[in-house]
Chains A and B, each alone.
Chain A
Amino acid sequence: MKKYAVLLTSVLSIFLVVSLYVNGIFAQNLSWGSRGEEVREVQSRLTRWGYMEGAVDGVYGAETYRGVRNFQQSNGLTVDGVIGPQTRAALGMPTTTPTPTTPASEGVSRSDDVNLLARAIHSESRGEPYEGMVAVGAVILNRVRSPEFPNTIAGVVYQPCAFEPVKNGTINNPPGDDAFRAARDALNGWDPTSGALYFWNPATATSRWIWTRTITLRIGRHVFGI
């Protein structure tokens, strides 16, 4: 039994190593217009070895292009001015960039819920007091917990005919810091509305039905109800 365990572990670990190797992302080709740390590295190597003159600035421009062609010519590579795998190897640069690996069994957190909630709050409660923003977030979360609504944050936010900003697209605007903070407070359990499932602006609400709801409180321009 123990033998099998040892065998299985070793097979698994070999498999893991191989799969990590295969999964390593192949480095990108560098060419005219490329920028970044890798270009800088290429430039400094080429300058050191005398293939190129000019600034080591991390921008693949005319001078770098000439330098790369010089290098390729004298090393018997295809002269195309593009740093592909072969040129890369000849330059002595790594051909793969290491993938950041996380242990297979470590948990992940659902930080995207905060993002979505923050966007909903941002688009629904501009100009409202802070507790009014938290309240909008709380209504969305109360809906998730209610049987009468979808059971996920995304389901509630994107429910057709539910929120105006989803219809007109302002839901996609990046949220402000306040909205993020309010979203976190709502997720952490702050609920100024005490369980409200609806909110509406009395000045602009067009639905007659919404006025049949029981009102719990008003914050800023919004009326909250169950």
Chain B
Amino acid sequence: MKRYILPIILAIALMGTGVWGYQQYTQKVDYHTYLDLQFQRQFYELIGHVENAQVDLSKAMVSGSNIDIAQYLNDVVKQSYMAQEKLTQLPFNHGAIRTTEKFLSQLGDYATAMVNKSLEGIVLEENEMSTLEELHTYANYLSQQLIELQQQVVSGGVNFGDLRKEGNRRLALVDSQMEDLNLINIEERMQDYPELIYDGPFSEHLKDVRPRLQGNTVNEGEAIRIVTEEFKEFNLANARVIGRIDNAPIEGYYIRGERNGDANGRGVSAAVSRTGGKIIWYLDPRDIGESQLGREEAIERAEEFLKQKGYEDMVATYAMAYEGEMVVNFAYQQEDVTVYTDLIKVKVALDNGDIIGLETEGFLINHHDRDIPEPQISKEAAQERLSSGVEVETVKLALIPTAGNKEILCYEFKVKFGADHYLIYIDADNGQQRRVLLLIEGEDGTLTI
């Protein structure tokens, strides 16, 4: 009898494991199915959105009036962004779909730019109409291909859950699945769609930023000297070049160093531009003690620092305190116009007023001597464009960037509406409202949205 005890226990254990394993397995199948179906839903929706975008685009093209065009293009915007959102959340290899993702973003973005034009009463030019036509051709192609893909998915050739699982690990397998999916072909074909240059955040021209920064080319030794010199008052020592920054709008040297005295072993880092030898950014992540400086003192400290480094005519536009440090934003001031594109950010440690961060890329890329034109409409005329419900507190002139990085001269009205403050920008040329920012005032500073 005794010799059966162990086998019986083992047999029971084995059965238990089997039951447990089966439960785990059904659970896994359950989740897997759920995931696969979620992805399938997204895929169906993607096709729907692309189709709708394509149809709306064609409807916009046959519409006669600006308002009708704007209406249909608005739908294009919505549909293409939703399509983009769905596509990016499907488990496809990024390399296999990036052009398609880009196409959908730019389609929506371009349509937005055209909507804005139409709403301003501008009739779309011939080349813009032909661009829309070309975009329509590609949208049409894309939706046809996606419908073909759909057939494959329906017939069971593709399991999205599996695609995700393989991820980047078993590349050969994923690649072959991708080939089956014909995504690569779509991607290749999509690559030929025209380069789009327009006033929008995804426009092609924003990729090749030509910085305005000028000056002599500096070598590594000079770059080290520049960093050591600029941050001398903070005892920067042992600066050395770690690497080069290439293929970027502003190329330069990546430098690390230590601070004598209060080193916490992490050191500081900075980048110096190859052209002109300017500090592009500086970061000192040292521990920060109890705050001793107030808001005003910190801003003053940052102003002083910039002046010392040769940045004249910079005005603090906004400041925000975070645990022990304060980030102060500066914009260039040309006569009475605040130039918001020429941005510098300075980070001040609130324990002893050290400068622990600097960021000048906006300034280095954009700053140049500008001929700022006189405003075409008066301050009073601009104010008439505001809603009657707002209470104007201050007004000044400002140069702000558009979505496509063009600079426009605006009146900046700081207004109060209900409990909140807003900044409203009215174009000084034609009185169009260009932008509205909501100011969120906290104890630590003001945030703009």
Contact = CB atoms under 8 A, between A and B. Distances in A.
Interface of A: 103, 105-110, 129-131, 134, 145-151, 155, 158-162, 167, 178, 181, 184-185, 188-195, 206-209, 214-219, 225-226
A207 B171 contact: yes
Contact of A185 (B171, B243, B244, B357): B357
B85 A167 contact: no
Nearest to A107: B440
Interface stretch (B101-109, B138-146, B212-220, B373-381): B101-109
B233 interface: no
Contacts of A184: 322, 327
A145 B90 CA distance: 19
A209 B449 CA distance: 37
B164 to A, nearest CB: 5
A72 B320 CA distance: 55
A152 to B, nearest CB: 8
B447 A109 contact: yes
Contact of B95 (A147, A178, A209, A226): A209
Contacts of A218: 242-243
A68 B201 CA distance: 66
B131 interface: no
Nearest to B93: A161
5 contacts: A130-B266, A148-B105, A160-B91, A161-B94, A191-B361
A216 B164 contact: no
Given A188-B327, A217-B254, A147 B285 contact: no
A148 B102 contact: yes
Given A109-B442, A151-B105, A226-B247, A159 B88 contact: yes
Interface in B78-129: 81, 84-85, 88-95, 98-99, 101-102, 105-106, 109
B98 A148 contact: yes
The 3 closest A-B pairs by CB, nearest first: A194-B248, A147-B105, A130-B285
Given A129-B269, A130-B266, A195-B248, A149 B88 contact: yes
A155 B88 contact: yes
A192 B271 contact: yes
Contacts of A159: 88-89, 94
B198 interface: no
A151 B81 contact: yes
Contacts of B106: 147
B420 A194 contact: no
Contacts of B254: 192, 217, 219
A181 B283 CA distance: 11
B168 A109 contact: no
Given A209-B93, A217-B248, 20 more contacts: A103-B418, A147-B101, A147-B109, A149-B101, A150-B84, A151-B84, A151-B85, A160-B89, A160-B90, A160-B92, A161-B167, A189-B361, A190-B357, A191-B361, A192-B271, A192-B281, A194-B245, A194-B280, A207-B171, A217-B254
